[in-house]
Structure 1
Amino acid sequence: MSRWTELTGEASGEEYAARFAALARGGQDVHGEARFCAALVPAGARVLDAGCGTGRVMIRLAELGYDCVGVDLDASMLAVARRQAPGLPWFRVDLAEFEPALLGIAGDFDLVVAAGNIFPLLAPGTEAAVVGHLAAALRPGGLLVAGFGLDEAHLPVPPGLTLPDYDDCCAAAGLALVDRFATWDADPYDGGGYAVSVHRLQLP
């Protein structure tokens, strides 16, 4: 069972969406992840939102002209995403078992984004498998972008996955570190408790 399921019971979609809607109404910028991704690949690029949740990031990227697919295990989150953007492709799937062909979609994504503490909230021990499946969905030279917390101040669960652990998983999947930031606003990483990592799938 994933840490996310243990934490939420997969029943928090409406609450999660309401929280971000309130932030937006209060004038907060809720599109930092989408803006970050848009700076990496041109409009029209194929983007996989891995752990898409209620679709906040993917819907914004679709509005900016990206060809997007969203996958998540939490049915309550996907229900919100489908209601907000019924014309976009949303799939319920465990990232540890994700294979585009099984969903009837093409791989060869230009970019895979995993925002929202996806990796620290996976089922323990599946991190390498998830990285491997996401890397396999990328075209050669494609990018994997993941942002997640590293300490108790940035996580709703006890921290487990370290950056060296994550980099090792990426290296095993043929991904090389391109850059690392402290925020989705691309502030330089300073060794703090949150990191946004960009890895590139190496050419064969």
Structure 2
Amino acid sequence: MLTDNPELYEARFPDADRLAGRWAEDCLRRHRAGRRVLDLGCGTGRDAAQLHRAGRRVVGADLSTAMLAYARTHHPGPEYLRADLRGFDLPGAPFDAVVCLDSALLYCHTDTELDGFLASCRRALLPGGLLVAEMRNGAFFLGRTELLDAPAVHGFTWQGTAYASTTTLSVDRTAQLLRRVRRWSADDGSPPHEQDSAWRLLFPQELRRALAAHGFQVLELHDGPGPRTEPAWQEGTAPGTFADGDRLHLVARLTPTD
């Protein structure tokens, strides 16, 4: 639904203050990353364009052709390419940093897919390059159910049509996935639409081990502050320490090899 309709995506998830892109730029600046950045899972291109405005040379990559077409028209500046983050080799490498926001990394549902992502990042980065990621926190769901107990209902109006969504989350413990079923309805007479998706539930120590296996040193790993936490992140906010918030924020450096 939203992946195929980028305008609807931005209407449902507005980011007028560009918090996600600004947070990523703040991480890059604090850790003195170079100018060339790859934004993986760039979606509509909002964050890639924000990084471009900050003076970065940006390549945005996504699997959705609809998102990429929208990004080229509505968020120009970066170069936009089609790629699968679970395994990629892109022109323009090596990069100084890879950015992966809004849980895009968690579409790596298996260890093999996660290894493919990290191996691809290693190939794409210069020695000493950064990986900056923001995602749901698997540790949040250890003994906590407030996001699982009842469906979440949201509504908004776009171009005169009222849309409503009912989202149900469940934990698939065997597959270690957070599964989401989202049912859409609209008052324009169109039939209801159901979307099924899932994110990998990665735990902090598990993520550290996977990163280390691919030659990354963790510089930051915390639950807040970040672009989707409360209170809202602002420039100059000091990195937090890990507790058990819903979001996990990562900055890792590719260690040079001898």
Give the alignment's TM-score, normalised by structure 1. Answer: 0.80
Which one-letter code corresponds to 1:48 in the other structure? L
Deviations 1:103-151 (A, max 9, x none): xx23121111111101222343411210110122110011101111124
Query: Alpha carbons of 1:86 and 1:170: their partners in 2 closer, same or farther (altered >3 Å)?
Result: same
| Higher alpha-carbon deviation: 176-185 or 131-140 | 176-185
Matching residue within 100, 106, 113 for 1:120: 106
Matching residue within 46, 63, 68 for 2:58: 68
Paired with 2:256 and 2:105, the residues of 1 have a C-alpha distance of 25
Aligned to 1:3: none
Paired with 2:89 and 2:121, the residues of 1 have a C-alpha distance of 8
Deviations 1:35-90 (A, max 9, x none): 42442365861011011111111101101111100111122222221111344310
Query: Alpha carbons of 1:108 and 1:44: their partners in 2 closer, same or farther (altered >3 Å)?
Result: same
Aligned to 2:86: 96
Q: Secondary structure at the residue paired with 1:68? A: strand
Q: Secondary structure at the residue paired with 1:95? A: coil
Query: Given the alignment of the two structures, is residue 137 of structure 1 paired with residue 179 of structure 2, yes or no?
Result: no
Which one-letter code corresponds to 2:124 in the other structure? A
Paired with 1:163 and 1:196, the residues of 2 have a C-alpha distance of 10
Query: Given the alignment of the two structures, is residue 178 of structure 1 paired with residue 178 of structure 2, yes or no?
Result: no
Query: Given the alignment of the two structures, is residue 202 of structure 1 paired with residue 192 of structure 2, yes or no?
Result: no
Which has more strand, going by share of residues? 2
Query: Alpha carbons of 1:34 and 1:159: their partners in 2 closer, same or farther (altered >3 Å)?
Result: closer
Query: Given the alignment of the two structures, is residue 51 of structure 1 paired with residue 41 of structure 2, yes or no?
Result: yes
Pairwise CA distance, 1:187: 4.0
| Higher alpha-carbon deviation: 45-54 or 116-125 | 116-125
| Higher alpha-carbon deviation: 30-39 or 79-88 | 30-39
Aligned to 1:33: 23
Aligned to 2:10: 17
Give the alignment's TM-score, normalised by structure 2. Answer: 0.65
Q: Percent identical across equivalent pairs?
A: 31
Contact 1:20 1:30 in 2 (8 A): no
Aligned to 1:83: 73
Q: Secondary structure at the residue paired with 1:177? A: strand
Deviations 1:146-166 (A, max 9, x none): 111124649754652222222
Paired with 2:8 and 2:70, the residues of 1 have a C-alpha distance of 10
Q: Secondary structure at the residue paired with 1:112? A: strand
Root-mean-square deviation (Å): 2.7
Q: Secondary structure at the residue paired with 2:102? A: coil
Query: Alpha carbons of 1:166 and 1:12: their partners in 2 closer, same or farther (altered >3 Å)?
Result: farther
Q: Secondary structure at the residue paired with 1:180? A: strand
Paired with 1:96 and 1:29, the residues of 2 have a C-alpha distance of 26
Q: Secondary structure at the residue paired with 1:96? A: coil
Contact 1:110 1:138 in 2 (8 A): yes
Contact 1:41 1:110 in 2 (8 A): no
